[in-house]
Amino acid sequence: MKILHTYCLNYNIGDYYLGIGVKNLLRQHLNVDLISETNLQGTIFNEYFIKNVLNKKYDLLVIGGGGIIHGAHWPNGWFWLIKEELIKQIDIPFIVYGVGNNYFKDEGGIPSIGRAHLKSTIESASYFSVRNDGSSERFEEQMGFSVPSIPDPGFHINLNKNYQCNESEPFILIQLANDKPEHRFGAEETRQKFIGNMRVVVKTLAKKYKVIFTPHVYEDISIGHEISNGISNTMTWDFAKYAFDNCAESLGFYQNAEFVLAMRGHGQIIPIAFNTPVISLENHPKHSGLMNKLGLGEYNIPINKIDYSMSLLELIEKLLVNKEEYLDKLIEINKVLLTESNKAFNEIRLSLAKR
């Protein structure tokens, strides 16, 4: 089977992480001859591309995962660049796998053009699913019907794989988001307050651990620098060293960290995949949604919480006191997630066999 995998490239390291997970699952469950990839945020599925590339050269199109149900400014209200009337010209089967409804609360949900386009996509897809971060509830509320919810493919980044890390002293990771600040923080005053609170936390943590900031998009670099400025025993990833096609080189950090503080979905998902404890710094419904779905809601903290620095330090202390229990819970969570993903692929194989 020749597969074309289209997902988000060239912006967010987290999207590359989930891409590895998708390919791990495809190779485990399907008879794969090759997997090619193309950028969902740049590839226009026009008549020429559908007829002369997709239908001629491939046997299966895989769309996702990632938070691709987002962007009211996009032509179709989500990331797939195909005119609604052209979807039925795709002769090969296609699946939409573990995607996220990423609209922020203040964005008003999926616009009408997006709802219409998504309905046409689902009608033609062999399989359509959203990821397990509360997207299913948000999708049903905004679309009026439900679709399957499955584990984000990023949870399977470690499937039959191991990653190296050269750090020798105990370290923690802090993964912060600095793009879309108007949605994440609301106002610059709120952002500056968050930075001040995080400096208090980092000064405390740096006495015991090396603190490593892990930007997932280029805009994340600056907020790490603002927080760590003048604080010893801290560093920020060289973004160019780990970005995009080289993202696998960064995974050993998540696998070997003492724990992770994460402000992005894949900042949560990747450490969990490696049985590394994580505290979610919530600035989007998907963050608490994921932690609650996994039974880890007690380790989620909104970034606008009153007495934030004190509350976060107390939560970190709780994590450390209960770390063995947390680790045991992560092992069981990952067993369940793998079972659920295997079930999803059983359904995919059955659907493809009917074509």
pTM, full prediction: 0.95
Asked if residue 149 and residue 6 are part of one domain, the reply reads yes
Residue 328: inside a domain, yes or no? Answer: no
CATH number where 103 lies: 3.40.50
Domain residue limits at 9: 2-155+335-353
For helices 220-228 and 188-205, angle between their N-to-C axes, nearest 10 degrees: 60
Tokens of 151: 């584990």
Asked if residue 179 and residue 123 are part of one domain, the reply reads no
The closest of 262, 121, 137, 149 to 198, measured between CA atoms, is 262
Report yes or no: 25 and 345 within 8 Å, Cβ to Cβ: yes
CATH number where 187 lies: 3.40.50.2000
Asked if residue 260 and residue 195 are part of one domain, the reply reads yes
Give residue-wise pLDDT tens across range 235-287: 999 999 999 999 999 999 999 999 999 999 999 999 999 999 999 999 999 99
Amino acid of residue 186: G
Residue 86: inside a domain, yes or no? Answer: yes
If one counts the domains in the chain, the total is 2
- State whether residue 95 is helix, strand or coil: strand
Asked if residue 189 and residue 272 are part of one domain, the reply reads yes
Q: What is the pLDDT along the chain (355 residues), one digit of tens a residue?
A: 999 999 999 999 999 999 999 999 999 999 999 999 999 999 999 999 999 999 999 999 999 999 999 999 999 999 999 999 999 999 999 999 999 999 988 899 999 999 999 999 999 999 999 999 999 999 999 999 999 999 999 999 988 777 889 898 999 999 999 998 998 998 999 999 999 999 999 999 999 999 999 999 999 999 999 999 999 999 999 999 999 999 999 999 999 999 999 999 999 999 999 999 999 999 999 999 999 999 999 999 999 998 999 999 999 999 999 999 999 999 999 999 999 999 999 999 999 998 7
Residue 203: inside a domain, yes or no? Answer: yes
Residue 263: inside a domain, yes or no? Answer: yes
